[in-house]
A and B are shown apart, each in its own frame.
Chain A
Amino acid sequence: MIGYLVRTTLGDAGYSWFEYLLHNPTLGFRWLVEYHGHWVMTRTAPGVPDTTAGGVSYQGVDYRHFSTAKAKVVAVVGEFPWTPRVDERAVVEDYVAPPRMLSSERTPQETTWSTGEYVDGRTVWTAFGLKDSPPERIGVGAAQPSPYAAAGRPMFLLTCAFIAAAVLVHLLFSVLSQQRLVADVIGEYRPGAADSALVVSEPFSLGGRTSNVMVEVSTDLSNRWAYFTLTLVNEDTGLAKTFGREVGYYFGRDSDGSWSEGANWDRAYLPSVVSGSYVLLVEPEGPSPVVWRVRLTRDVPRPMWLWLALGAMLVPPIFFLWRRAAFESRRWSESDHTSSKDDDDD
């Protein structure tokens, strides 16, 4: 290292950065620039970048404009290829394409372009054999590579693969499952009529592996309700599964127009029903007569599980995108292109 200088931007919210000039007889000059614990190794860029819509393009890489500031030299020590002086002023522009950075330094006499790449502080400390630790990083550096950049494509592909696999699993079960109608019981309930209060189905068989049973209750209810107590009895074991379903359907018209509430049918699933011989008991209740029908279908894949699985699978990618956006937000909070300076430090 042969030289060191400090620059500060002009204005109320001025900030400083530090430039270390390195020289190697073979490689020539290099600058190590440090700001808030973020290091960029730069060198003079041959040629002039092309101006693009949001920044510049240089050697096939598009750089986005990050900041423009007037700066002055406030301290200088060592040897330089020119004679820097304290209070020497220039307009400094930074463009970024992490981990690359392109900067211009414009004075009334000339414009100098330099190209650089982000360097981890520990690399600098190791290279110079320095003890202790490099200064702690504050915020996100303008050219600091995002830790999420490399994972974006694998995350996207993995999400697509998981969604495709989940849909495939559901489709396979939809095709291969029994979905067999095992009981179809029809009845008419009349309040106070004892013979309509309980209906027992003919025995039926539930075959195959332990799986669910879909229960569908349909009625002729209209602005009424009914409650059905259903009992599925395993004749082999004597075990009875009892559950209740309310069916209610109301509609009408008011000042806001027509409305409706509920439905005259209902659907439920009995989980993990073992195979065997069964009967179904149906016990309707209600204030008015109702014609009802209860159908049992064996082994029906529930779409609800597919939707839940898809929702769960999307949580990590959404979290990933949020973290990546937050990282970029912290980066650009230091730029000229930000609406807030309130982001937390990294």
Chain B
Amino acid sequence: MIKAYLVFGGLVLAALTWTHYTGWGPSNVTEEKVKSVRNNPGSYRSAYGGRSYTGAK
């Protein structure tokens, strides 16, 4: 059991270091390619446009 714990704890430590280093994490992010922001700010609206939030109270 000690050997298994050594391996397990080592993996957890490695995972902790990796997540801290890369900034990895679960997220609810949509990634899309858009046109130039600086030249035409309104163009991004197409990247996420068309949605309207109706939640909350």
Contact = CB atoms under 8 A, between A and B. Distances in A.
Interface string B35-57: 11110011011011001110111
A170 B21 contact: no
| Interface band, chain A | 35 or more
B44 A316 contact: no
A302 B22 contact: no
A213 B24 CA distance: 10
A279 to B, nearest CB: 5
Which of the listed residues B5, B23, B27, B44 has the most CB atoms from chain A within 10 Å of its own CB?
B23
A184 interface: no
| Interface band, chain B | 35 or more
Interface in A278-310: 279, 281, 283, 285, 299, 301-302, 305-306, 309
A211 B12 contact: no
Nearest to B52: A285
A198 B41 contact: yes
A270 B27 contact: yes
Contact of A309 (B16, B22, B36, B38): B16
B47 A231 contact: yes
A227 B9 contact: no
Contacts of B23: 210-213, 269, 271-273, 299
Which of the listed residues A170, A209, A244, A299 has the most CB atoms from chain B within 10 Å of its own CB?
A244
Given A169-B17, A241-B29, A158 B9 contact: yes
A282 to B, nearest CB: 11
Contacts of A244: 28, 53
Contacts of A283: 48
B17 to A, nearest CB: 5
Interface of B: 1-2, 4-6, 8-9, 12-13, 15-17, 19-38, 41-42, 44-45, 47-48, 51-53, 55-57
Interface of A: 151, 154-155, 158, 162, 165-166, 169-170, 173, 177, 198, 200, 203, 209-213, 225, 227, 229, 231, 233, 235, 237-244, 246, 248, 250, 268-273, 279, 281, 283, 285, 299, 301-302, 305-306, 309, 312-313, 316-317, 320
